[in-house]
């Protein structure tokens, strides 16, 4: 007959799909009962309507059923009490006191935070962000995307994730796709609904996305900024001084000039430019193979030289890159050997190289106006 200890060891492989930690480590494994060939596993879920309870049931069953002597697995789910949820939040926040807490923004020292910026819209910044994140995740890194483009959110559609994040006790659990954790205003309002907010509300939204979302132990957090150098970029810089900035541009002169302004903003807001990615660099005719520089040439290189950073990649204009973003299937995932995918994967390698010197070093975090630094 299977023993309780054998069942417990098998369940060590079962992770909570939202939090990403073993269910036993975060107090979700309530009990195990073995009666003959029947094993009953009691699991606590964060809230009554947990959208992933079927997956938890399936994962527990799949972990226990193969054990010798197990004929039946009975998984019983029950919601946590208020005290249990508070204990879980306390644990996930690193055991820090619940109050007073001037700022909840507290990333591990090993997390590299990268603001992905562009001077103007339409240069493919969000597409680059999504594909970079997926390329990093494919290499085994723990990655998250904060869609900070509150007005023009597009990351959920591009990465192919839908639904509403689960929230409990002032903590929000991000959704996930292709191994990348994602939070976006698009999860909270219908896609066609305009978000008409001014500076203070935008500032608060960014603070909540950084502080109230349980990101876990990330290697990289990519922050997809709105175009320009407005409120959102300034707020992000105030919360995360010392974070890196990656500038996306196209080859044309107009885009380069504006991209340079976005890069130079970093010097005034304590962000650290690490590189430039030139998107839509050229187009290769699928029939004759001729290369056509539709938007000109040299813009990315000139921007990089002006900012004193490397040109990390020149990404060609490809229908597959656009099509993948429309249906939530990033091209680096679906077709990693296309020229665009190769360029984006090279950019991901360059990002790792550029941020490696920061790994293990503390990143100053500020609470913002009215809060205390910590």
DSSP 134-160: HHHHHTT--EEEEE--SSS--HHHHHT
Q: For the chain, where do the domains classified as CATH 3.40.50.300 start and end?
A: 112-358
pLDDT at position 193, please?
60
Q: Which long-range contacts (CB under 8 A, 24 or more apart) does 77-84 make?
A: 77/43, 77/44, 77/45, 77/50, 77/53, 78/30, 78/42, 78/43, 78/44, 78/45, 79/44, 79/45, 79/46, 79/47, 79/48, 79/50, 80/44, 80/45, 80/46, 80/47, 84/27, 84/44
Strand partners, 39: 34, 73
**Residue showing tokens 């500038």:** 247
| pLDDT tens for the chain, residues 1 to 374 | 888 899 999 999 898 887 888 888 888 898 999 988 899 999 988 776 676 788 899 999 999 999 998 999 999 988 888 778 778 877 877 665 444 344 567 788 889 999 998 877 788 899 999 999 999 999 999 999 999 887 778 898 999 998 888 877 678 889 999 999 999 888 887 666 655 555 567 777 778 888 888 888 899 999 998 876 566 677 777 787 778 989 998 888 777 777 777 777 766 777 888 999 999 999 878 777 788 888 888 888 988 888 889 999 999 998 889 899 889 999 999 999 999 999 999 999 999 999 875 443 434 444 444 443 33
Q: For the chain, where do the domains classified as CATH 3.30.300.130 start and end?
A: 4-92
Contact in structure between 44 and 28 (CB atoms under 8 Å): yes
Contact in structure between 114 and 147 (CB atoms under 8 Å): no
**pTM to 2 decimal places:** 0.71
If one counts every other C-beta atom within 10 angstroms of the C-beta of residue 104, the result is 18
Task: Tell me if residue 258 falls in helix, strand or coil.
Answer: helix
Contact in structure between 307 and 273 (CB atoms under 8 Å): yes
Q: Which long-range contacts (CB under 8 A, 24 or more apart) does 94-100 make?
A: none
Q: Compute the distance between CA of residue 164 and CA of residue 8 in angstroms, rounded to an integer.
A: 32
Rg from Cα positions in the chain:
23
The CATH number of domain 112-358 is 3.90.120.10 = no
The CATH number of domain 4-92 is 3.30.300.130 = yes
Of the candidates 108, 49, 36, 103, the residue with the CA atom closest to the CA atom of residue 77: 49
pLDDT at position 102, please?
44
Contact in structure between 178 and 333 (CB atoms under 8 Å): yes
């Amino acid at each position: 007959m299977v023993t309780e200890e054998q069942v417990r060891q098998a369940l060590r492989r079962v992770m909570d799909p939202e939090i990403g930690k073993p269910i036993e480590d975060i107090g979700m494994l309530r009990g195990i009962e073995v009666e003959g060939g029947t094993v009953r596993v009691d699991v606590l879920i964060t809230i009554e309507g947990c959208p992933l309870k079927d997956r938890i049931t399936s994962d527990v069953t799949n972990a226990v059923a193969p054990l010798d002597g197990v004929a039946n697995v009975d998984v019983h789910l029950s919601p946590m009490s208020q005290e249990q949820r508070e204990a879980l939040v306390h644990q996930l926040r690193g055991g820090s006191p619940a109050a007073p807490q001037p700022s909840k923004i507290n990333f591990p020292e090993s997390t590299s935070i990268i603001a992905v910026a562009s001077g103007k819209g339409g240069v493919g910044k969000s597409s680059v962000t999504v594909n970079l994140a997926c390329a990093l995740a494919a290499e085994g890194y723990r990655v998250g995307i904060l869609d900070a483009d509150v007005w023009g959110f597009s990351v959920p559609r591009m990465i192919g994730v839908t639904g509403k994040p689960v929230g409990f006790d002032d903590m929000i659990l991000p959704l996930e796709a292709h191994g990348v954790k994602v939070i976006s205003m698009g999860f909270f309002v219908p896609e066609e609904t305009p978000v008409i907010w001014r500076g203070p509300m935008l500032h608060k939204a960014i603070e909540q996305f950084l502080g109230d979302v349980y990101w876990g132990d990330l290697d990289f957090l990519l922050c997809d900024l709105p175009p320009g150098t407005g409120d959102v970029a300034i707020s992000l810089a105030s919360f995360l001084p010392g974070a890196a900035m990656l500038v996306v541009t196209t080859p044309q002169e107009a885009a380069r000039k504006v991209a340079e302004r976005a890069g130079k903003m970093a010097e005034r807001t304590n962000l650290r430019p690490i590189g430039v990615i030139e998107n839509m660099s050229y187009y290769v005719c699928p029939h004759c193979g001729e290369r056509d520089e539709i938007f000109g040439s040299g813009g990315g290189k000139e921007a990089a030289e002006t900012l004193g950073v490397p040109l990390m990649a020149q990404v060609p204009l490809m229908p597959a890159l656009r099509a993948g973003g429309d249906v939530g299937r990033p091209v680096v995932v679906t077709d990693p050997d296309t020229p665009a995918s190769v360029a984006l994967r090279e950019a991901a390698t360059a990002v790792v190289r550029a941020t490696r010197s920061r790994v293990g070093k503390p990143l100053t975090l500020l609470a913002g106006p009215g809060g205390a630094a910590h």
